[in-house]
Chains A and B, each alone.
Chain A
Amino acid sequence: MMNLLLQFVLALFATLGFSVIFRVPVKKIPACILIGALGWVTYEIAVFYMQSPVFGCFAGACIVGMLSSICARFLKEASTVFIVPGILCLVPGYKIYSTMEALLLHNYGNTASIGIETLMMAGAIAIGLLVMGVAVGLVRMAFRKIRSF
């Protein structure tokens, strides 16, 4: 539990760093860093229960995508502003490094397995965002239908 809290704080600051690098408008930074940190915590919890980083990335990306769309709606802002810094914590940077390391050691079996896992994690982020994009579109359409009655 303590560990998770520490990770939450670290992810908060990591996302803060990216928000400044990508120049998120000052007033939107708090929402951005919360989204990023929640995405990372979701990833950690999913990895803990499912033992699968790929599923973790998917869950994290779903949370980031959903929260970003909600924030975009309420803060009247382009949703990219929240998604771009939020998703960065999930990008498998360490896996890219491990793939390269395994390749350097001429351990091609490991290279293939870690490399494929890296690609699958990137794909899972993509699919998470896609699913949320479609879901948000559907919800928005449903609301419009209800309102037009």
Chain B
Amino acid sequence: MEEKRRQKRVLILAVRAGEIMMKAGAEIYRVEDTIERICKACGMDYVDVFAMPTGIFITVDKGFEEDDTYTYIRRIRSSETDLNKISRVNDFSRTFTTTDMTVEEGMDELDEIEKEKKYPITVRLLCASIAAACFSVLFGGNAMDFIIAFLIGSVCYAFSRILSHAGVNFFIHGLCCCAMAAFFALIAATSIPGAHYGMIIAGCLMLFVPGVAITNSIRDFLSGDMVSGLGRMAEAFLTAVSLAAGAGIVIKLWDMIGGITL
């Protein structure tokens, strides 16, 4: 009985580690490998994991005649890129498998990792606006574009945070953020001489570009996880379309109205 309870706890520990990684945006290969290592370290001889961006399936068995087979299915819904969590769970699985850490201690550690806060919102806003401003210059803008993109980038990033707190679908999210960027960029470009709205919009657009989805889909293909690779590639493509559509709709409407000058 005690043994069965332990088996269940190990299973829950492994699935939580996998869930945190998958939500933080890790590749399939890494998630499956981590889960397998944790289970093997606890003496489960038979482990089978099947992970996808939307769910994790695990089966463990100790391999003896009298043992039961346990299966756990975890549905994963939201995901937000957080490389620090990936890195910490990675370290955790390394220490868990090499030292004699107990399952309870492991659970506490995972709790701590999951509760970790992001960088403060002011720092993130500042960095997002710096990124948008730098990209607008890299794409050929001038000093005025830099300043305007800096301001618009922070506004758009704040707006995108609000939308993701509200749990908005990723297509609408990209569309609204980019529409907002385009709107402000057009206002700025018509009222301030020397500003190019194209560079500013493209700079702010870079904040929402699906870099993580592209990277992960390639790495999933590389390790042979075709379904996840295709899924993430579709996500990357749709996100790019949503960004272009958002900016496009606003520019078109602006043209039809004939522009507003302040």
Contacts and interface: CB of A to CB of B under 8 A. Distances in A.
Interface stretch (B37-45, B69-77, B107-115, B133-141): B133-141
A78 B130 contact: no
A47 interface: no
Given A11-B138, A88-B209, A125 B30 contact: no
A47 to B, nearest CB: 12
13 contacts: A10-B134, A14-B135, A21-B207, A23-B82, A23-B84, A78-B87, A81-B87, A84-B212, A91-B209, A97-B201, A99-B244, A100-B248, A122-B236
Given A84-B25, A93-B206, 14 more contacts: A15-B131, A16-B130, A17-B132, A18-B127, A20-B123, A77-B87, A78-B83, A84-B81, A93-B139, A94-B139, A98-B198, A103-B248, A125-B214, A126-B218
B119 A20 contact: yes
Interface in A63-107: 77-78, 80-81, 83-85, 87-89, 91, 93-94, 96-101, 103-104
B153 to A, nearest CB: 9
A21 B86 contact: no
B145 interface: no
Interface of B: 25-27, 30, 81-88, 90, 118-119, 123-124, 127-132, 134-135, 137-139, 157, 198-199, 201-203, 205-207, 209-212, 214-219, 221-222, 236, 240, 243-245, 247-248, 251-252, 255
B214 A87 contact: yes
B137 A91 contact: no
A13 B199 CA distance: 17
B222 A130 contact: yes
B26 A80 contact: yes
B202 A23 contact: no
B6 to A, nearest CB: 29
Which of A11, A13, A96, A133 has the most chain B CB atoms inside 10 A of its CB? A96
Given A93-B202, A133-B219, A14 B26 contact: no
A24 interface: yes
Contact of A87 (B82, B83, B123, B211): B211
A97 B124 contact: no
Contacts of B131: 13-18, 21
B214 A126 contact: yes
A interface, over-half SS: helix
A134 B206 CA distance: 28
Contact of A22 (B82, B139, B205, B216): B82
Contacts of B135: 14, 93
A83 to B, nearest CB: 5
Nearest to A68: B215
Given A14-B135, A14-B138, A20-B127, A83 B82 contact: no
B interface, over-half SS: helix
A89 B244 CA distance: 18
Contacts of A85: 83, 211
A134 B247 contact: no
Contact of A94 (B123, B202, B212, B215): B202
A78 B252 contact: no
Which of B83, B129, B218 has the most chain A CB atoms inside 10 A of its CB? B83
A61 to B, nearest CB: 9
Contacts of B243: 96
B209 A93 contact: yes
B219 A129 contact: yes
Contacts of B123: 20
B86 A81 contact: yes
Nearest to B90: A78
Contact of A23 (B118, B129, B236): B118
